[in-house]
Amino acid sequence: MHETLAPAQRSGFPAPLAVLELFKPITWFAPMWAFMCGVVSSGAPFSEKWHLALAGSILAGPMICATSQAVNDWYDRHVDAINEPNRPIPSGRIPGQWGLWIAIIWTCASLAFAATLGIWVCVAATLGIFLAWAYSAPPLRLKQSGWWGPAGVALSYEGITWFTGAAVVTQALPDPKILILAGLYALGAHGIMTLNDFKAVEGDRQLGLRSLPVIMGVDKAARFACAVMALPQIIVVALLVHWGLPYHGVAVGLALVAQFGLMRRLLSDPLKHTPWYNATGTSLYVLGMLASAIAVGSSLGGHP
């Protein structure tokens, strides 16, 4: 493909602030939150495991999530040169092949760091790194699919990081209850990722990216996203009650009822209200994650 990037990109070294911008620290919150949910759900005493929790949170956010952002920006550099030319790579602030080299170096550093935190953390990190490359890089480039792209991100940001949080403090395969919660909330996050695609419907259509809003239409995709977010939470409520944790189940249920109310406004005009819903409904979703983690953690930790 013909290079259309800034001439300044041909030589030199990247500025540290440009590298930090490439890593997009704002995106680290979601996986770090899921990671801490994993830590809490393990029931392990935090006062004794804080150093492992700190190391794992660094792995989840500033390392693996940052790697995924670098990989994505490198393989999107030609599109960004047209649509977002001020980004670090197309603007030339990260010159030459440095975008690719940063992604490779941070991949190796993340895997090496994960290897020091136990076998299960290393396995989870390896899968997360694989999905980071598979999402953006050919030949898989999962982001071109409205089904596989959101699934890969949801699994990485919610399921794998939740698993990692529990595994790093217990140094063992997490309890089945933890695995079930991580899987359910990762499934629900597919809906959140679908909503994120609404901001780029026209661009995706022009570029041939088959996001769900493109192939289903905005209204149907919004209803699908709401259903995908809600169903796992309904199952979580039922499971918490079944596991003898009814008060926590009620807390998650109330958060879900509030989301239903917010979804009504979202569905009235998905393109207009998606940013608003991401700030309100999605916040309730992640608070429900924490409530569920506290519930299971109290059970596994032997506390009432």
CATH code of the domain containing 86: 1.10.357.140
Give pLDDT tens digits for 57-115. Answer: 999 999 999 999 999 999 999 888 887 899 999 999 999 999 999 999 999 999 999 99
Q: Would residue 3 count as lying in a domain? A: no
36 & 95 share domain: yes
Q: What CATH number has the domain bearing residue 297?
A: 1.20.120
Give pLDDT tens digits for 128-165. Answer: 999 999 999 999 999 989 999 999 999 999 999 999 99
Give pLDDT tens digits for 248-275. Answer: 999 999 999 999 999 999 999 999 999 9
Rounded to two decimals, what is the model's pTM?
0.91
In terms of C-beta density within 10 A (0-12 exposed, 13-18 middle, 19 or more buried), how is residue 265 classed? Answer: middle
- Of 174, 196, 229, the residue that ends a domain is 174
Contact 258, 284 (CB under 8 A): yes
- Of 174, 204, 232, the residue that ends a domain is 174
16 & 154 share domain: yes
- Percentage of the chain beyond pLDDT 70 is 95
Confidence of residue 194 (pLDDT cuts 50, 70, 90): very high
Cα–Cα distance for residue pair 90/76, rounded to 1 Å: 9
302 & 283 share domain: yes
What phi, psi does 145 have (nearest 5°)? -110, 135
In this predicted structure, what is the pLDDT of residue 299? Answer: 92
- Of 174, 203, 233, the residue that ends a domain is 174
Contact 57, 36 (CB under 8 A): yes
Confidence of residue 6 (pLDDT cuts 50, 70, 90): very low
Average pLDDT along the chain: 92
Q: Would residue 93 count as lying in a domain? A: yes
pLDDT at residue 41 above 90?
Answer: yes
Parent domain of 117: 10-174
- Percentage of the chain beyond pLDDT 90 is 85
Contact 181, 162 (CB under 8 A): yes
155 & 190 share domain: no
